[in-house]
């Protein structure tokens, strides 16, 4: 799209239009006046004025030699060269009008235009022939891709001014001479990768307002063709747009994929690398895959290098020659390379925005702090994400040049193994006049723009496109040809107005391929028909009857899918019988039936702020399997005989029947822990089974708390790690479901109590099923953090004066507890340090033991245990159902698992993907509601602590709300200047504030990690978006 701020330049390749009856050569004076009135370009006007002067000289009797001398003076042609200036335009590289020999009427403007057009046509013909010759020789034409997918040729990317023309010609000659090619108007580089890097360099040299205007129109750099010495373009933007369509149909934009056989052989020979593609959400043209040797990630530069692969896809890449590798600076790139580019993209996004006006369960918490915060996949739309987190930042010492430069391997995609991305996107429709399709513009810039048939669009879209400017649609990609810059797709749904919670939520779910549809009848047919359902007598006879035991649940107050319960009975010898009882979901979900198939696909329940997307039908989740109070329920139980100090003396696994006596919330249990001597009344608690007095329940909670504290102490003394991070919770209006308030979720002793026994049950089950099924067991490992990243973190902490021991999980945990002080901001410093420590961490993963031969790889780093699995949440995790089946088979109380080792591994991998998606969707839901809260209740003031410093911005943790935001220095009001300084890994900014009055001196503010600042959260113009504004030092919150 042409920018409205840029004048349309004249196209001198065409003859002037003539009306019937006009002579082929109109009078010069009329032509001059007509052109001057039609074209308001200052350059064109200057040219016409100069032309008039030349014409005047000629009329005064000066011959062609005089005109040539005048023209030579303007072009600064040396005297010794002037004799070589040709008189015939066909032999000249100078397109000046005074060099045109007149016939008939001397120097006629129309004759000049005709000759210029003829010359341009001849050059176009020669250029096309030259390109064809090079293509036949196997050389690729150099291209680069703009933001909206357009391919620009090397010639089109020239951005020369008239004074640069001769320099440009010399540079062109050098380039082509060095490549062994004849001089040509087309610039040929080594690859599309190199050309894109040149383009980014040119983009940086543009004036800021021009760069932002061009980017805001959805394209990269829109530069004109090479200009003549007078500043005239040889083609117009209009013609360029018209020719793009023709080029798309004939030119191969992307390389063809390798065949499966070629890929297989390449992987075996080590010539190709397989990995998961991660696209930088802040800079969509950057992508990465992990390096097999755990060094710096491999870099994919540009859309062409990605070859139609999308974020999350499993791809095979070919590493490019070393001369095409990316040069990075170890002192800056590892902490946020090219941050100034991120600043530009932030500003462009701001312009675009102006233009387009349930609490987690206890055993989830430990997984949240164990999981790698895979910052590219799980922070797709988080504006606080730092560049360092999306970029591989490990230094591969084998790629350090002698001059100290560090090289990062670059590659291109040659094959897509698995399309993990849903190929669905949320976005907006743009009307394209005179086109049989509309342009779908995704909200996520990593998704390509999509051509959508007009037949898919609303009926009145072509006549009233403005009515849909703020309407969200869902589009699915159906094809992306190698010859097209744009994907093809179909609209699947109209969501509603952008900025409303339900349309935005549905868009998030669709983009991440979360199945939120109603369960089909075939699934419901697998459930019991006779309701209310009762346990069959024959099933009762096969199970241990625990209905008379004091068993209760502890869950969030709003929870309805209660899948775990606890019991604790003191024995005569002073020890305790402690039981963990888990809903027996595998009894209802038979292997290989329709219900099982759907559950295996969904793999997990997804918890949003306002609702849950269940893995299983609600009849199971909230009724038949839920351990509701005063109801007989089927369970799997693990019962230990345990000492008060937490030493396990005996262990029992088996299927059972329980009857919960009360549903306690975490608040109820916390009150009992905090008031051990209090006599609770029935009014203070939910309904209680009269068989079990309140005092008995209270004492059981206290005993469990005491044992849990000892178990916890043993775990951490044994080397376990916990990385606590702030979690934001909301209070919602019961009718509108809009946020009324928000708060930081408090993790208390009641949460720790439940977590400790869930961990104990999971560890015990992992040992049991691995002993019984060493080739089939589904376990969960947590790989250790990346060593080089830990070394970098250790160096940074040393320079910050923080005494942190990163040698092991246990050592790190102790450091987090003991080294950050005990003042009112120690918790904030711990949160910041926890965030820094989470970066090197890897993801915890499900796996099948038969697929991993080295038992040392089974270890769970954060828990510091050799075997771990998930057993305690089968209502919301499919992995737990497989574990239940294995457990039942090992106890001879269930059929043998019909899955092979490979099939278990495949399901484990799918569960990993869905867990990552679930976590990310939960984060986006929270961001969505907080954005609404800021809009409705803001602006919000808070203290914030600096988490990271870049060269033009810094990240902060907003302490009152637990959110992370980036503050750009150039966006700070009343800031006079800022200066960046970096020593080693330590980075700091000095901000100079403009004095509030003429008598005051400028105020300096130093920003470094752990600096306290005051910020204000304020809603942006774009729906659901908000920014953190830095306040002047001394201003009160």
Q: Which of 844, 824, 793 lies closest to 948, judged by CA? A: 793
Sheet holding 272-276, edge to edge: 272-276, 314-319, 411-418
DSSP string, 697-765: HHHHHHHHHHHHHHHHHHHHHTT--------EEEEE-TTT--EEEEEEPP--HHHHHHHHHHHHHHHHH
Question: Can you say whether the dihedral through the CA atoms of 992, 996, 999, 1005 is positive or negative?
Answer: negative
Residue 555 annotated as binding? yes
Give CA–CA dist 534/549, Å, rounded.
20
Give CA–CA dist 203/340, Å, rounded.
12
Q: How many CB atoms lie within 10 A of CB 664?
A: 25
Which residue in the block uniquely carries the two structure tokens 């701020």? 5
Locate 41 and state its tokens.
């370009």
Give CA–CA dist 504/737, Å, rounded.
14
Give CA–CA dist 45/37, Å, rounded.
9
Give CA–CA dist 564/762, Å, rounded.
12
Give CA–CA dist 902/905, Å, rounded.
5
Find all residues with CB under 8 Å of 774, minimum gap 6, and list them: 849, 850
Q: Which of 828, 852, 711 lies closest to 366, judged by CA? A: 711
**Helix (H/G/I), strand (E/B), else coil: 957:** strand
The upper half-sphere exposure of residue 182, i.e. CA atoms within 13 Å in the direction of its Cβ, equals 8
Which residue in the block uniquely carries the two structure tokens 């900014």? 989
**Are 990 and 920 spatial neighbours (Cβ–Cβ below 8 Å)?**
no
Look at strands 663-665 and 551-555 and give their pairing. Answer: parallel
Give CA–CA dist 843/908, Å, rounded.
14
**Per-residue burial over 703-715, b = 16 or more CB atoms within 10 Å of its CB, e = otherwise:** bbbbbbebbbeeb
DSSP state of 205: H
- Rounded to 10°, the helix 749-772/694-717 angle is 70
**Are 828 and 962 spatial neighbours (Cβ–Cβ below 8 Å)?**
no
**What's the gap between Cα 698 and its chain centre?**
47
Residue 564 annotated as binding? yes
Sheet holding 286-289, edge to edge: 278-279, 286-289, 298-301
Burial class of residue 357, CB neighbours in 10 A (0-12, 13-18, 19+) = exposed
Number of helical H runs and strand E runs in the chain: 27, 36
- Is the peptide bond between 489 and the residue preceding it cis, with omega within 30 degrees of 0? no
- 231's torsion region: left (phi>0), alpha (psi -120 to 50) or beta? left
Locate 937 and state its tokens.
């209740």
Which residue in the block uniquely carries the two structure tokens 């491999």? 298
Locate 839 and state its tokens.
């970066």
DSSP string, 539-601: HHTTSEE-TTS-EEEEE-TT-----EEEEEEE-TTS-EEEEEEEE-GGGTS-TTSHHHHHHHH
**What's the gap between Cα 77 and its chain centre?**
54
Determine the straight-line distance between the first and last CA of the chain, rounded to whole angstroms.
44
Residue positions forming the annotated binding site: 555, 564
Residue positions forming the annotated binding site for Mg(2+): 555, 564
């Amino acid at each position: 799209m042409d920018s409205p701020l840029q004048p349309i330049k004249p196209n001198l390749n065409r003859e002037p239009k003539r009306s019937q009856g006009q002579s082929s050569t109109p009078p010069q004076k009329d032509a001059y006046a007509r052109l001057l009135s039609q074209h308001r370009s200052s350059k064109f006007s200057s040219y016409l004025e100069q032309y008039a002067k030349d014409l005047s000289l000629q009329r005064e009797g000066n011959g062609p030699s005089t005109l040539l001398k005048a023209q030579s003076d303007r072009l600064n042609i040396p005297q010794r060269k002037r004799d070589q200036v040709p008189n015939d335009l066909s032999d000249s590289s100078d397109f000046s009008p005074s060099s045109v020999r007149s016939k008939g009427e001397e120097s006629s403007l129309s004759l000049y235009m005709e000759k210029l057009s003829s010359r341009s046509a001849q050059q176009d013909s020669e250029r096309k022939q030259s390109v064809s010759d090079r293509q036949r020789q196997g050389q690729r034409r150099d291209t680069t891709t703009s933001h909206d997918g357009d391919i620009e040729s090397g010639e089109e990317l020239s951005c020369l001014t008239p004074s640069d023309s001769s320099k440009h010609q010399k540079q062109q000659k050098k380039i082509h001479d060095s490549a062994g090619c004849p001089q040509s108007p087309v610039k040929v580089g080594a690859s599309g990768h190199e050309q894109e890097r040149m383009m980014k360099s040119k983009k940086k040299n543009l004036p800021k307002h021009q760069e932002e205007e061009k980017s805001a129109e959805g394209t990269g750099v829109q530069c004109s063709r090479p200009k003549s010495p007078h500043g005239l373009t040889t083609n117009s933007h209009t013609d360029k747009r018209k020719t793009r369509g023709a080029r798309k149909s004939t030119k191969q934009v992307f390389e063809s994929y390798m065949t499966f056989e070629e890929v297989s052989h390449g992987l075996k020979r080590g010539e190709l690398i397989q990995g998961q593609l991660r696209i930088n959400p802040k800079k969509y043209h950057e992508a990465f895959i992990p390096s097999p040797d755990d060094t710096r990630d491999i870099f994919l530069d540009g859309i062409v290098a990605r070859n139609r692969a999308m974020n999350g896809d499993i791809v095979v890449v070919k590493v490019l020659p070393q001369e095409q590798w990316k040069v990075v600076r170890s002192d800056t790139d590892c902490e946020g390379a090219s941050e100034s580019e991120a600043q530009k993209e932030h500003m462009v996004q701001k312009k675009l925005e102006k233009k387009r006006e349930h609490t987690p369960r206890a055993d989830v918490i430990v997984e949240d702090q164990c999981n790698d915060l895979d910052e590219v996949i799980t922070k797709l739309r988080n504006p606080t994400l730092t560049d360092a987190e999306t970029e591989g930042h490990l230094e591969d010492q084998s790629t350090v040049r002698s001059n100290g430069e560090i090289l990062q391997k670059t590659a291109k995609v040659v094959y897509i193994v698995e399309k993990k991305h849903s190929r669905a996107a949320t976005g907006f429709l743009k009307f394209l006049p005179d086109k049989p399709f509309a342009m779908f513009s995704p909200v996520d810039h990593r998704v390509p723009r999509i051509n959508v048939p007009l037949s898919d669009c609303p009926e009145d879209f072509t006549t009233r496109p403005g009515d849909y400017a703020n309407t969200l649609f869902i589009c699915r990609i159906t094809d992306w040809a190698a010859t097209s810059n744009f994907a093809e797709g179909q609209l699947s749904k109209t969501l509603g107005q952008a900025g409303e919670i339900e349309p935005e939520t549905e868009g998030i779910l669709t983009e991440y391929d979360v199945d939120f549809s109603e369960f089909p009848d075939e699934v419901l047919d697998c459930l019991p028909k006779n309701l209310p359902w009762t346990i069959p007598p024959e099933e009762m006879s096969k199970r241990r009857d625990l209905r008379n035991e004091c068993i209760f649940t502890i869950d969030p107050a709003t929870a309805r899918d209660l899948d775990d319960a606890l019991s604790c009975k003191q024995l005569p010898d002073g020890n305790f019988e402690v039981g963990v009882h888990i809903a027996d979901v595998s009894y209802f979900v038979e292997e290989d039936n329709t219900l099982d198939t759907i559950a295996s696909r969904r793999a997990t329940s997804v918890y949003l702020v306002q609702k849950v997307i269940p893995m299983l039908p609600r009849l199971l989740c909230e009724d038949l399997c839920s351990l509701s109070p005063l109801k007989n329920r089927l369970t799997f139980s693990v019962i230990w005989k345990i000492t008060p100090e937490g030493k396990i003396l005996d262990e029992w696994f088996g299927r059972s029947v329980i009857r919960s006596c009360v549903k306690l919330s975490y608040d109820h249990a916390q009150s009992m822990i905090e008031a051990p001597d209090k006599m609770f009344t029935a009014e203070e608690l939910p309904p209680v089974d009269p068989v079990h007095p309140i005092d008995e329940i209270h004492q059981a909670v206290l005993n469990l708390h005491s044992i849990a504290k000892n178990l916890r102490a043993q775990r951490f003394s044994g080397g376990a790690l916990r990385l606590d991070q702030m979690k934001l919770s909301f209070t919602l209006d019961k009718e509108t479901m809009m946020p009324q308030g928000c708060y930081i979720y408090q993790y208390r002793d009641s949460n720790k109590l439940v977590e400790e026994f869930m961990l104990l049950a999971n560890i015990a089950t992992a040992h049991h099923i691995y002993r019984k099924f060493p080739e089939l067991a589904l376990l969960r490992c947590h790989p250790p953090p990346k060593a080089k990243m830990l070394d970098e973190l250790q160096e940074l902490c040393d320079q910050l004066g923080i005494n942190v021991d990163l040698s092991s999980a246990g050592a790190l945990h102790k450091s987090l507890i003991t080294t950050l002080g005990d003042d009112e901001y120690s918790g904030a410093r711990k949160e910041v340090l926890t965030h820094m420590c989470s970066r090197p961490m890897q993801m915890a993963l499900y796996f099948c033991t038969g697929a991993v031969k080295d038992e040392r790889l089974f270890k769970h780093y954060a828990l510091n245990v050799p075997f771990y699995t998930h057993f305690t949440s089968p209502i919301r995790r499919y992995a737990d159902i497989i574990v239940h089946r294995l457990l039942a088979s090992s106890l001879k109380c269930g059929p043998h698992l019909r899955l092979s080792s490979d099939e278990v591994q495949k399901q484990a991998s799918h569960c990993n993907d869905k867990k990552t998606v679930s976590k990310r969707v939960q984060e986006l839901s929270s961001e969505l509601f907080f954005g609404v809260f800021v809009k409705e209740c803001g602006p919000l003031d808070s203290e914030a602590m600096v988490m990271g410093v870049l060269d033009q911005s810094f990240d902060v943790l907003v302490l009152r709300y637990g959110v992370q935001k980036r503050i750009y220095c150039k966006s700070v009001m009343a800031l006079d200047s800022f200066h960046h300084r970096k020593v080693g890994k330590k980075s700091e900014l000095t901000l100079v504030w403009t004095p509030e009055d003429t008598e005051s001196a400028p105020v300096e503010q130093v920003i470094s990690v752990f600096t306290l600042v005051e910020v204000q959260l304020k809603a942006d113009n774009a729906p659901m978006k908000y920014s953190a504004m830095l306040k002047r030092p001394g201003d009160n919150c």
